[in-house]
């Protein structure tokens, strides 16, 4: 029992350390940029050309510094950021002042979760199945064809594929809408609403699924299967006279699932940062598009909020995988 507690405590310490380091990096990087959002807003006010009381402007400046967490020296700002994080108050968004960052994230997050959860799980499942089968039957023509397609697709940036799909199926052949997440019509909770949402999400999802399923997931499962099928336990199963289907299902797929499950957990944890360029290309109202706008406008609070979500997502995914590994694989022990 003590060994189990030590194992859990070590993973919790690693989780906390990862979060602290991640938040610290996100705190430092925006402040290294040669841009001050408060002074930019004050400059915009002056650029209008009207006369303003200098005292009122100075009061406004101090208020904005406090609202955006930029008041005081870097150490004071750092601890102020942690106070906001622990109280779930990330302050107002600079680019959408005075709307709170939490409000904007809560609006965009369901869109990204819906899009990326389905796309990631689907591409992981399909990619692992066809990758394992293609490797096991690597002498077949379909295996060579799939491998060739994967090698071509893997280095292609997913946003390039997104642009090609948009040009083809939203412009030349207008099957899908050009962008957005939902047609602005007065529809309640109904089948029509579900179909409308699916139609808008189809192209963004396909642009993520194709390079995922026929790219990384296919190639990684293909490589793992190629390594495993030469090991003694597989040869022993074949010598016993087991069919190819049994060897594939009971011996190969089960043995490649552990490393692939690790990668899946990290991929699911990373959905909280959004599919940035895909969402920008399709004007999809998710976290990725919100993060892009925050970077363009140097919105410190928004960048911190979204980055914190991503850090927590990946860290929690890693922690949960570490804790459940011994339950999945009996060869793993608490050490």
Instruction: Give residue 207's pLDDT band: very low, low, confident or very high (50, 70, 90).
Output: confident
User: Does residue 48 or residue 219 have the better pLDDT?
Assistant: 219
* β-pair partners for 100: 92
Summarised one tens digit per residue, pLDDT across range 45-54 is 667 666 666 7
Cα 274 from Cα 108, distance rounded (Å): 10
Summarised one tens digit per residue, pLDDT across range 264-318 is 777 776 666 657 777 777 888 888 888 888 888 777 788 878 888 888 877 887 7
DSSP state letters, 160-225? HHHHHHHIIIIIIS-SS-SS-SS--S---SSHHHHHHHHHHHHHHHHHHHHHIIIIIHHHHHHHHH
Are 290 and 111 a contacting pair, CB within 8 Å?
no
Question: Does pLDDT of 82 surpass 80?
Answer: yes
CB burial of residue 316 (10 Å; 0-12, 13-18, 19+): middle
Both tokens assigned to 199: 């139609």
Could you tell me the pTM of the whole model? 0.74
The pair phi, psi for residue 100, each rounded to 5°, is -65, 150
* β-pair partners for 92: 100
Cα 129 from Cα 139, distance rounded (Å): 17
B/e letters for 3-40, b = 16+ CB within 10 Å, e = fewer, are eeeebeeebeeebeebbeebbeebbeebeeeeeebbee
Cα 221 from Cα 196, distance rounded (Å): 35
CB burial of residue 41 (10 Å; 0-12, 13-18, 19+): middle
CA 299 to mean position of chain CA atoms: 20
CA 178 to mean position of chain CA atoms: 23
Share of the chain above pLDDT 70, in %: 84
- What per-residue confidence (pLDDT) applies to 186? 56
- What per-residue confidence (pLDDT) applies to 327? 65
Closest CA to 314 of 275, 274, 267: 267
Going along the chain from its start, the domains and CATH numbers come out as 112-297 (1.10.3720.10)
Are 12 and 6 a contacting pair, CB within 8 Å?
no
Both tokens assigned to 9: 């405590």
């Amino acid at each position: 029992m003590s060994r189990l507690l030590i194992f859990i405590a070590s993973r919790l310490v690693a989780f906390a350390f990862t979060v602290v380091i991640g938040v610290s990096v996100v705190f430092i990087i925006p402040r290294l940029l040669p841009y001050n959002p408060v002074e930019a807003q004050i400059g915009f006010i002056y650029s209008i050309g009207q006369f303003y009381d200098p005292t009122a402007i100075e009061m406004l400046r101090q208020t904005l510094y406090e609202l955006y967490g930029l008041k005081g020296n870097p150490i004071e700002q750092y601890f102020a950021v942690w106070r906001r994080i622990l109280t779930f108050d990330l302050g107002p968004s600079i680019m959408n002042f005075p709307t709170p960052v939490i409000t904007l994230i809560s609006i965009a997050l369901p869109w990204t979760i819906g899009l990326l959860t389905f796309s990631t799980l689907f591409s992981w499942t399909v990619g692992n199945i066809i990758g394992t089968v293609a490797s096991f039957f690597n002498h077949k023509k379909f295996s060579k064809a799939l491998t060739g397609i994967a090698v071509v697709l893997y280095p292609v940036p997913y946003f390039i594929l997104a642009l090609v799909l948009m040009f083809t199926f939203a412009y030349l052949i207008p099957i899908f809408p050009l962008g957005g997440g939902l047609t602005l019509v007065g529809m309640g909770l109904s089948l029509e609403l579900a179909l409308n949402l699916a139609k808008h999400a189809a192209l963004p999802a396909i642009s993520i699924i194709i390079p995922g399923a026929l790219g990384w997931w296919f190639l990684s499962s293909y490589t793992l299967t190629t390594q495993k099928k030469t090991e003694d336990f597989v040869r022993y199963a074949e010598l016993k006279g087991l069919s190819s289907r049994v060897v594939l299902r009971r011996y190969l797929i089960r043995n490649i699932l552990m490393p692939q499950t690790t990668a899946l957990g990290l991929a699911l944890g990373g959905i909280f940062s959004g599919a940035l360029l895909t969402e920008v290309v399709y004007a999809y109202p998710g976290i990725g598009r919100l993060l892009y706008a925050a970077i363009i406008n140097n919105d410190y609070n928004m960048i911190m909020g979204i980055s914190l979500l991503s850090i927590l997502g990946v860290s929690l995914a890693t922690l949960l995988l570490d804790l459940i590994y011994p339950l999945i694989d009996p060869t793993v022990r608490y050490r």
